[in-house]
Chain A
């Protein structure tokens, strides 16, 4: 180790220079000689049969090279990608109802508006778009199934052939005696909460470029993917080209947030088209088709019951979760299980029962988006606890403190399994202290509900935990060149998280070089056999530890090789700042490049490949507090303050960690107040532009006041916990709690997001019927 570790420093990012000068290489910037341009023809109907497709007029247009439909491409569902099959331990414990449900490459019976039914390839993008409009498709519209209610109705049209209902996944997770505990509870909050369908909106849309060299390099695909190795495997499956002859490159990628972490037909088709046509093919999605056909997220309904004793201690929790999966459910039970696994959160909950159902509708598929089922769980639970606190007359912070797992109880076995099939064990952190610190920062006891210029001020708080750093593995190659520069390659692609910088910091410490001497390449399948990719708050943990292990091995190799070179025992040498020196004669050192050359000439180059396989996830945690001003006349909510205290273990680069939290919170604020994907009853998307789907701008996101704790994870050598998603998990709950607090004099109950002006105004109108509970919503028992 060097004297001052690189890990822990807010080092400026290596990737900034090229990105700031406009010299990044995003997939749209890849420009190959002779390339053709693909444009997809998408179904205008949510559900339809196709009687026939007439491409003659399109093909007659000068410059059009090909038009392909479902009949021209391999049939059947897309191959597996990530986590399609749950781990055996989970399956044997849950015995879930789980139907495989992947989309085809091109649909002959489209199941959502926007699904690709044909692809046009032409000499230019403009001509391809002209031709796409000339493809005549004989659609026979079928009834849409546009809502959860309609999908679950007894007489519902069953969307997928061969199924007897629309339930793609169903399972129950339970412990203890929920029925008995609820019967004995002093108070039971019984509510129905819902979270709206949202879009992740990376600023760069999807896109891919492929080129095929039948005799030489094989198939090369550039894609704005979060998972280049799994994409290579899938492309191999559909193309028949062995993986060794396929190279997938995720170059600079303009944001992902999970939206680019699923397998899409378009990426595979671009590869197949390049092979079939013998020329490079490029496809760049436009924003309108992105809104229609890239995955959505978050649409859930919770029917939750939380029972507490008279002192405010949780005695039982029961939840029934409905997840709108859209037309397909490629990730199996990932989203519903994430939701269920995070319901008990950081709390002691003696009895628990949760039923999850993933339900097919004829809408765009949903998949993990930053938080991936957790914000939905946290919204239902944190809302319930605020209602309970009000019923019991206990301060919301105090009520939470009475239930939080305490540091001395760690490691705390929650009593259910996590999604990886391992026992869900909270592995450290001081949850009460994190909450107290957030309350202190926001001035919880000073913030009193009062009117300010006719607006009502409220405060809200919440807590979360997040399972991070999930397996199965990530790998890293570390090797030293003759020039002394260190090359690191990993399958953990980057979409802005600063991997080139943070993995250089990790490598620098474990090898003994300057971070500036380390060049990191991510997301290129060349030179690394296996990879998984960047999703699920896992890359720092899983790839970071792989880099550390590989760098540690290369360090040992270098000391050994230098020992032979200098004829000094390796144990008497040290490696610092890129030089191997005798401990007792620092002036006799030799540069790492020279050592590398000597080692290579001896036939044992300085290089190591390591795959890190975490035993299970490691838990990050945090508390958020919001202060809002609500205008009861207009329903407008202004965020006056937003406080975050979080613990993601040891931080490799605190500046980058802060940036991850800021960005996550901003997306969470969008979900709390503004963003909602809207469909009509025919399954038509109503707000498919950025003028209609409102993401926050600099005017809507306040200064985020941030504090941290660093409780090193005991589960990995670097002590890391993940941080990519944490910021996005709490804002809907914390802000909803604050809005309800502001309106508490009016008896309002916030049951959903987003808290748009019309919804908030309806809450603020005292005689509106929807203000009243349904009668059973809250039952105070004797």
Chain B
């Protein structure tokens, strides 16, 4: 099938690219737009490594086609912190609490946590574990990720006016 022009906003910037209708959103982000921070872990919607935000809600970018994102507002890991600025509080918390090892699943976790903390600025451990259960991490055993989420919530609350 012939490639189609696709216009999306990613991290506040407008991107134009072209892709066949069968191209997944994650392949489009990575290969066409060069945003390689979003990772492909399973390509069947289970591992959560490719999680991004579309119009503020998490989606699995491996289960969407690029053409479905046309006209939508996307947010990826590259958009969490300003390029030359300090880390986003969630990123800061993950580093401080050693919530990442190989880092491959991490972008997906960060985006999931971004959504979680917007929904619930002070989540219980049960809520955190439940909301993270769609993302697989094979390195950390999750303990430090859970701690990082709690710490990120603290940092975010402190930063709020």
Contacts and interface: CB of A to CB of B under 8 A. Distances in A.
Nearest to B102: A496
B43 A287 contact: yes
Given A21-B77, A663-B139, A704-B143, A29 B36 contact: yes
Interface in B67-116: 76-78, 80-81, 87, 91, 94-96, 98, 100-107, 110
Nearest to A670: B138
Given A203-B138, A695-B136, A699-B130, A252 B103 contact: yes
Interface residues of B, number: 58
A20 B110 contact: yes
B41 A204 contact: yes
A204 B39 contact: yes
Interface string A506-528: 00000000000000000000000
Given A666-B141, A698-B142, A20 B100 contact: yes
B17 to A, nearest CB: 14
Interface string A1-45: 000000000001101110111111010110100000000000000
Contact of A690 (B22, B46, B142): B46
A576 interface: no
A40 B67 CA distance: 28
A662 B143 contact: yes
B110 to A, nearest CB: 7
B44 A203 contact: no
B133 interface: yes
B23 interface: yes
Contact of B142 (A31, A252, A666): A666
Interface in A242-290: 252-255, 257, 284, 286-288
B49 interface: yes
Contacts of A257: 138
Q: Is the interface of A mostly helix, strand, loop or mixed?
A: loop
Which one of A28, A257, A697 has the greatest number of beta carbons of chain B within 10 Å?
A697
A126 B139 contact: no
Nearest to A693: B46
B105 A22 contact: no
B95 A689 contact: no
B61 to A, nearest CB: 13
B153 interface: no
Interface residues of A, number: 57
B37 A287 contact: no
Interface string B130-149: 10111111111111111000
A589 interface: no
Given A126-B20, A287-B43, A204 B104 contact: yes
A253 B20 CA distance: 30
A698 B103 contact: no
B110 A495 contact: no
B91 A20 contact: yes
B59 interface: no
A254 B36 CA distance: 14
Given A252-B103, A699-B130, A201 B138 contact: yes
A655 interface: yes
Interface string A662-703: 111111000000000000000000000111000101110101
Contacts of A498: 101
B104 A254 contact: yes
B47 interface: yes
A703 B146 CA distance: 10
B139 A287 contact: no
A203 B98 contact: no
Closest A-B pairs by Cβ, 6 of them: A22-B37, A254-B104, A496-B102, A19-B103, A662-B141, A666-B141
Given A21-B87, A655-B98, A698-B129, 4 more contacts: A22-B76, A28-B30, A254-B105, A664-B141
Interface of B: 20, 22-23, 27, 30-31, 34-44, 46-47, 49, 76-78, 80-81, 87, 91, 94-96, 98, 100-107, 110, 128-130, 132-146
9 contacts: A21-B37, A203-B47, A257-B138, A496-B102, A496-B139, A663-B101, A690-B42, A701-B143, A704-B143
